[in-house]
């Protein structure tokens, strides 16, 4: 049977830490807690479960802290947990069975990360696979009977285990400030991190974050990239411009650029809001209808469902078309 080190980085998690650890108890041989500067009872709670508690001076990088936690592990596999996660009884049992049956050649186990939509996350789906269990020491294996080569890609197993994400609050401001620090220091954002930054700006960005991001977004639009990637950047920039000071020229410029490639629910929504505020309700209704029924969302499901239909109802009410308003009200 595989042995497991649970590794966690924590800071001020007194509200959720015990819930997480209770749900994992009995599944680990070793529990490692790395505290990055708590000033509440986090470490006292952790001490009820383990004596392997380490202090780590925060560097501004979650990777630094996680690498430190992994360096303290000594079991076959490392399970990376966050304090706001929880396993219910069904998934505890799935984890136990996995632990007993895990073949040593498996190097990464993915698990479902659930409860995303209820948390107003940056994702358009309630569950996604995430790598959660890692083999601590990787073995390099030669393969093929001739022209042999070392297997470089890890062996990944997609399990049926669901981890429930139950945060006490949003981390959007913290994350956006970290992105801003990276940009101020001249760090290049990888494609994956840039995508997350764009999504967090769209879903959680306040005016101050959007203002700081504008130059970066406009620079992105000058870079050569795929059509889909460019389109996502335009969507976020449109949202930024609309939320700031209503720069009509820029709004139209970037909106038309997006319309030349393909449409999206988010772009239709922004143009609908533009005409709604101009009290041109007939034109606004056309854009809201197109956003709800003729295009697909790029970033936000709500932009293609409830939000444009809500506006559509308001448009028809203001136009005195109560039957149409009621028809779409029934869709909410």
Q: What is the pTM assigned to this prediction?
A: 0.72
Residue 68 has pLDDT above 70, yes or no: yes
Neighbours of 84 (CB within 10 A): 19
State pLDDT tens for residues 149-201.
998 899 999 999 999 988 776 666 778 888 888 888 888 888 888 888 888 88
Q: CA 292 to CA 33: how far, in whole Å?
A: 47
Alpha-carbon distances of 219 from 106, 164, 184, 214, 224, rounded to whole Å: 42, 38, 14, 9, 11
pLDDT, averaged across the chain: 86
What pLDDT is attached to residue 121?
Answer: 52
Given a contact cutoff of 8 angstroms between Cβ atoms, the answer to whether 46 and 17 are in contact is yes
- Distance between CA 100 and CA 86 in Å, rounded? 21
Beta-carbon count within 10 A of 65 CB:
21
Q: How distant, in Å, are the alpha carbons of 8, 23, 26, 62, 172 from that of 119?
A: 21, 20, 28, 21, 11
Half-sphere exposure of 218 (CA within 13 A, CB side): 11
Higher pLDDT, 140 or 46: 46
High-pLDDT (> 70) share of the chain, % = 83
DSSP 245-267: T--HHHHHHHHHHHHHH---HHH
pLDDT digit string, tens, across residues 203-259: 887 778 877 887 887 777 666 566 566 666 667 666 666 666 555 666 666 666 565
**pLDDT tens per residue, range 103-161:** 999 999 999 988 655 555 555 555 788 999 999 998 888 888 887 899 889 999 999 99
């Amino acid at each position: 049977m595989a042995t497991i080190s649970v590794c966690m980085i924590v800071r001020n998690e007194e509200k959720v830490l015990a819930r997480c650890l209770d749900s994992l108890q009995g599944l680990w041989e070793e529990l490692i807690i790395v505290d990055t500067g708590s000033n509440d009872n986090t470490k006292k709670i952790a001490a009820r479960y383990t004596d392997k508690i380490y202090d780590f001076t925060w560097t501004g990088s979650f990777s630094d802290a996680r690498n430190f936690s992994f360096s303290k592990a000594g079991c076959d596999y490392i399970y990376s947990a966050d304090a706001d996660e929880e396993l219910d009884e069904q998934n505890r049992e799935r984890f136990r069975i996995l632990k007993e049956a895990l073949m040593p050649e498996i190097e990464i186990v993915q698990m479902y990360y659930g409860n995303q939509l209820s948390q107003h996350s940056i994702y358009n789906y309630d569950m996604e696979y995430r790598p959660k269990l890692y083999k601590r020491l990787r073995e390099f294996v030669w393969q093929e009977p001739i022209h042999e080569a070392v297997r470089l890609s890890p062996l990944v197993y997609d399990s049926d285990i669901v981890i429930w994400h139950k945060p006490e609050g949003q981390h959007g401001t913290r994350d956006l400030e970290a992105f801003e620090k990276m940009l101020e220091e001249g760090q290049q954002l990888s494609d994956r991190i840039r995508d997350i930054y764009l999504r967090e700006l769209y879903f959680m960005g306040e005016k101050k974050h959007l203002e700081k991001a504008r130059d970066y977004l406009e620079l992105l639009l000058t870079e050569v990239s795929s059509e889909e990637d460019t389109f996502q950047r335009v969507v976020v920039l449109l949202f930024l411009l609309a939320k700031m000071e209503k720069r009509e020229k820029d709004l139209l410029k970037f909106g038309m650029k997006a319309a030349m490639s393909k449409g999206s629910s988010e772009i239709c929504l922004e143009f609908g809001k533009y005409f709604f505020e101009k009290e041109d309700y007939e034109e606004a209704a056309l854009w809201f209808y197109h956003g709800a029924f003729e295009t697909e969302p790029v970033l936000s499901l709500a932009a293609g469902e409830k939000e444009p239909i809500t506006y559509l109802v308001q448009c028809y009410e203001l136009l005195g078309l109560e039957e149409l308003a009621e028809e779409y009200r029934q869709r909410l």
